[in-house]
Structure 1
Amino acid sequence: MNEQQAPVTEDLKNMRNIWYAGFWIRLLAYGIDLIVISSIHRLIVYPIFKLGGWSVEEVSDFSVIAIVTAIVGYTYLVLMTKWYQQTLGKMIVGLKVIDKDGNSPSWLTVIFREVVGKFISKTVWFIGFIWIAFSGKKQGWHDKIADTFVIHERK
């Protein structure tokens, strides 16, 4: 081995054999996740608000029910990604999130990716998500910011 070359670790060997998940399959996974989040809203959040006598008719982005629904959605995305490296949508289509070393992302990385990164990705006309289609490693801005990748699971 040349003295200038670093030894190849098992993680690096595994990173060479990964299949990055493209735009359309990730969009499908996200669509499934939106169905899950909407179901949680309709089956849990909405009835609790109705029972409590709180307004569910207000349509503002900053209404209490909209804020609670957003918190529930982000909590779902963060917890599922941290605990399983995938949401239910990603599970169904066979995708998972890894960090730059091919491992499960840390809590800080997951929170940064799901909350801050995705906020940035959608703020500028969703270009951060569309970027996935044109990126060599199929990373959206939220992935680049958090140094993560979405890959197809090995079976």
Structure 2
Amino acid sequence: MMVYGDLTWKREGLILGSADFLINYVLPFVATILFWLYKSATPGKMVLNIKVVDADTGEKLSVGQSIGRYFAYIPAMAILMIGIIWVAFDKRKQGWHDKLAKTVVIRKRKK
């Protein structure tokens, strides 16, 4: 079984079968949603001392918002990453994924 190398790019279908799907799609999805729900941040956001909250209430995200935000990255990145670059020009520093999920990224209060 070859996992890396030239044949990897030429093969059609999943390399490791269902394990490939679980490792590349399901695991990142579940981990990201759980981090947003329980920590309000992914590990990178934790290092930067920022968190994702509901744009209206400032509270933790709901399950629906978390799932919506995750899948909203697709249109945000689809057209030359404009939805991500949008953060630089938006008054509230929201990307398209934030606007679609009604979320905002804020700095944590210092303890």
TM-score by length of 1: 0.59
Match of 2:24 among 69, 72, 76: 69
Q: Which residue of 2 aligns with 1:87?
A: 42
Point out which structure has higher relative CO (alpha carbons under 8 A, 6+ apart): 1
Alignment deviations for residues 49-108 of structure 1 (CA, whole Å, 9 cap, x no partner) = xxxx6x523247963426631322222211101111001111111000110211001001
> Are 1:105 and 2:52 matched, yes or no?
no
CA root-mean-square deviation: 2.1
- Which ranges of structure 2 fall in alignment gaps of 5 or more residues? none
Alignment deviations for residues 80-139 of structure 1 (CA, whole Å, 9 cap, x no partner) = 01111001111111000110211001001001101x211111111111100000100000
In structure 2, what is the Cα distance between the partners aligned to 1:123 and 1:96? 24
In structure 2, what is the Cα distance between the partners aligned to 1:61 and 1:154? 49
Q: 1:119-134, aligned counterparts within 5 Å? A: 119-134=74-89
TM-score by length of 2: 0.80
Q: Which residue of 1 aligns with 2:51?
A: 96
Alignment deviations for residues 22-67 of structure 1 (CA, whole Å, 9 cap, x no partner) = xxxxxxxxxxxxxxxxxxxxxxxxxxxxxxx6x5232479634266
* Structure 2 residue matching 1:86: 3-state secondary structure: coil
User: How many residues are paired up?
Assistant: 101
Q: Which residue of 1 aligns with 2:103?
A: 148
* Structure 2 residue matching 1:151: 3-state secondary structure: strand
Cα distance change, pair 92–61 in 1 and its aligned pair in 2 (3 A): farther
Cα distance change, pair 102–61 in 1 and its aligned pair in 2 (3 A): farther
Cα distance change, pair 62–84 in 1 and its aligned pair in 2 (3 A): farther
Q: Which structure 1 residue ranges, 4+ long, deviate > 2 Å from structure 2?
A: 55-68
